[in-house]
């Protein structure tokens, strides 16, 4: 007999009837999150600067009986974010995943204002605007926000990420301050700190590094040798934790920062 007030695991993990908005869902971690959320029953709003990639993903997900819509948005452009929310705020998502991000390497002396602005606009300011819009649009109904930060926020390891690390530290700080003020209004707001995940983005970054600097290749080798699990993670291994944070499995978790990093931060 099932105890009163007891939810089964199937009920706890289900996203049936929910709508999730995932940024940067054309590739890597964002794509894997969209796939798992669809499997858990959520309809999806897929956001990316690359419309072809999200349209392709939408075609595969639609076969699975969930509603999927795609929106081409350049998240570095505040007006584009305003326009998106004008379009969707009458039916805002229940779950927002701020995943889109860039991680360009640059020597300290070569960082100029345009470069710094671009990294901060995409990695931090867009997350701020998206959280602000979500909280205003959902008012007292609450909702779930998951922000993708990075282990680099806590433990800078690779050379040349002088703008990336601070942008991701900002994401962590924003997550915690919003959780403090809005968790009593039925929001749960958490961060994931991935590290060493094998994605198209990290593979492209590695190719760029090969062209640029031997020092950065050395960083990659050192990264693996101090990584307790001695292997890179898959995007789906991040998506599974996102699903826990999006679902009632984590109904008492807010303001948390969860590393998904093969143990890197502990080593
Ligand atoms: P990825 O490059 O494979 O995918 C990122 C997606 O974001 C792409 O589809 C890209 O088109 C989209 N995007 C980029 N700029 C955009 C913009 N201005 N507007 C809209 N969409 C844009 O990246 P990934 O490796 O899957 O990383 C996803 C997130 O995880 C990023 O925030 C990254 O910083 C973070 N992260 C990744 C790792 C890792 O090891 N892969 C580690 C720590 C943190």
Query: Order of strands across the sheet with 257-260?
Result: 68-72, 43-48, 19-23, 95-98, 143-148, 187-194, 257-260
The reported pLDDT for the residue numbered 153 is 97
pLDDT, tens digit, 9 for 90 and up, residues 34-51 = 999 999 999 999 999 999
Q: How confident is the model at residue 158 (pLDDT cuts 50, 70, 90)?
A: confident
Residues 72 and 51: their CA atoms lie apart, in Å, by 5
pLDDT, tens digit, 9 for 90 and up, residues 179-209 = 999 999 999 999 999 999 999 999 888 776 6
Cβ of 84 below 6 Å from ligand 1: no
Question: Which CATH code, of 3.30.9.10, 3.40.50.720, 2.30.40.10, 3.30.365.10, is assigned to 13-261?
Answer: 3.40.50.720
Between the CA of 141 and the centroid of ligand 1 the distance, in Å, is: 29
- Token duo for residue 191: 């961060």
- For the entire predicted model, the pTM comes to 0.96
- Residue 164 a catalytic site member: yes
Cβ of 259 below 6 Å from ligand 1: no
Cβ of 143 below 6 Å from ligand 1: no
pLDDT, tens digit, 9 for 90 and up, residues 17-30 = 999 999 999 999 99
């Amino acid at each position: 007999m099932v105890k009163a007030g007891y939810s089964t695991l199937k009920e706890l993990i289900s996203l049936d009837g929910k709508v999730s908005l995932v940024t940067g869902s054309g590739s890597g971690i964002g794509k894997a999150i969209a796939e798992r959320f669809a499997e858990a029953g959520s309809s999806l709003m897929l956001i990316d600067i690359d419309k072809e990639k999200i349209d392709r993903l939408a075609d595969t997900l639609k076969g699975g009986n969930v509603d999927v819509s795609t929106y081409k948005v350049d998240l570095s452009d505040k007006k584009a974010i305003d326009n998106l929310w004008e379009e969707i705020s009458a039916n805002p998502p229940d779950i927002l995943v701020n995943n889109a991000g860039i991680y360009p390497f640059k020597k300290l002396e070569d960082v100029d204002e345009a470069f710094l602005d671009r990294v901060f606009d995409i990695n931090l300011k867009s997350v701020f605007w998206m959280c602000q819009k979500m909280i205003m649009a959902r008012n007292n109904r609450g909702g779930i926000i998951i922000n993708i930060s990075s282990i680099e926020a806590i433990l800078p390891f690779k050379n040349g990420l002088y703008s990336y690390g601070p942008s991701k530290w900002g994401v962590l700080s924003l997550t915690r301050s919003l959780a403090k003020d809005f968790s009593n209004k039925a929001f749960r707001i958490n961060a994931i700190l991935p590290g060493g995940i094998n994605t198209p983005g990290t593979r492209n970054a590695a190719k760029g590094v090969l062209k640029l600097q031997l020092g950065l290749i050395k960083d990659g080798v050192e990264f693996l040798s101090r990584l307790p699990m001695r292997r890179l993670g898959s995007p789906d291994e991040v998506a599974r934790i996102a699903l826990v944070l999006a679902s009632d499995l984590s109904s008492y978790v807010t303001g948390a920062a969860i590393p998904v990093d093969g143990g890197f931060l502990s080593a």
